[in-house]
Chains A and B, each alone.
Chain A
Amino acid sequence: MSDTPRLVLVDDHGLFRSGVRAELGRQVEVVGEADDVQPAIELISRLLPDVVLLDVHLPGGGGQAVIQAIKAEHPEVRFLALSASDAPEDVIAVIRAGARGYVTKTISTTELADAIRRVAAGDAVFSHRLAGFVLDAFAAAPAADVKPSFDPELEQLTSREREVLRLIAQGYTYKEIARELFISVKTVESHVSSVLRKLQLSTRHQLTRWAAERRLA
Chain B
Amino acid sequence: MAAGIAAWRGFSPTTVRIVFVLCTLVSAGWGLPLYVLAWLFIPAAGAEANIFSKARNDYRGIRLAVGLASLLIFVLLVASALNAGWFVNWAWPQVFSVAGLALIWRNGADEDQATLRHLLEPLGAAADGVRPNRRSAWRLVIAGALMAGGLAWLFSARASLALLRPLGGVLLVIAAIVLALGPWWLRIARDLALERQAKARAEERVDIAARVHDSVLQTLALIQRRADDPQKVIQLARMQERELRSWLFEGRSLEEADAELTVAAGVRKIQEDVESRYGVPVEAVTVGDCDLDDNLEALLAAAGEATVNAAKWSGASVVSLFAEVEPGEVSIVVRDRGKGFDPEAVPADRKGLAESVHGRMARRGGTAVVTSAPGEGTKVTLKMPRSPVTASRS
Contacts and interface: CB of A to CB of B under 8 A. Distances in A.
Interface string B305-331: 000000000000010101010100000
Contacts of A131: 285
B249 A169 contact: no
Contacts of B286: 132
A106 B242 CA distance: 12
Contact of B288 (A85, A129, A136, A172): A136
Contacts of A86: 245, 249
A180 B283 CA distance: 20
A115 to B, nearest CB: 16
Contacts of A171: 283, 318, 320, 322, 335, 337
Contacts of B245: 86
Interface string A68-112: 000000000000000001110000000000000000001000000
Main SS of the interface on chain B? strand
A4 B126 CA distance: 73
Contact of B287 (A85, A169, A172): A169
Interface in B329-381: 333, 335, 337, 379
A116 B173 CA distance: 76
B287 A128 contact: no
A166 B326 CA distance: 13
B249 A132 contact: no
A182 to B, nearest CB: 15
B320 A132 contact: no
Interface string A171-197: 110000000000000000000000000
B286 to A, nearest CB: 7
Contacts, number: 43
Given A86-B249, A87-B249, A170-B333, A136 B320 contact: no
Interface residues of B, number: 18
A58 interface: no
A169 B288 contact: no
Given A170-B335, A171-B283, A171-B335, A128 B320 contact: yes
A128 B326 CA distance: 18
Contact of A169 (B248, B318, B322, B326): B322
- Which range contains the number of A residues in contact with the other chain? 10 to 19
B349 to A, nearest CB: 29
A185 B326 CA distance: 28
B249 A166 contact: no
Nearest to A129: B285
A87 B248 CA distance: 9
B249 A128 contact: no
B288 A128 contact: no
B324 A128 contact: no
A159 to B, nearest CB: 12
A94 B248 CA distance: 19
Contacts of A217: none
Contacts of A47: none
B288 A139 contact: yes
Given A128-B320, A135-B324, A171-B318, A85 B285 contact: no
Given A85-B249, A87-B249, A170-B335, A136 B287 contact: yes
14 contacts: A86-B245, A86-B249, A87-B249, A128-B283, A128-B285, A128-B320, A128-B322, A129-B285, A131-B285, A132-B285, A136-B287, A136-B288, A169-B285, A169-B320
Given A132-B287, A171-B320, 8 more contacts: A129-B285, A132-B322, A135-B324, A136-B287, A139-B287, A166-B333, A169-B285, A171-B322
Interface of B: 241, 245, 248-249, 283, 285-288, 318, 320, 322, 324, 326, 333, 335, 337, 379
Q: Would you list the 7 A-B pairs with minimal beta carbon distance, nearest first?
A: A171-B320, A132-B285, A135-B287, A169-B285, A170-B322, A87-B249, A170-B320
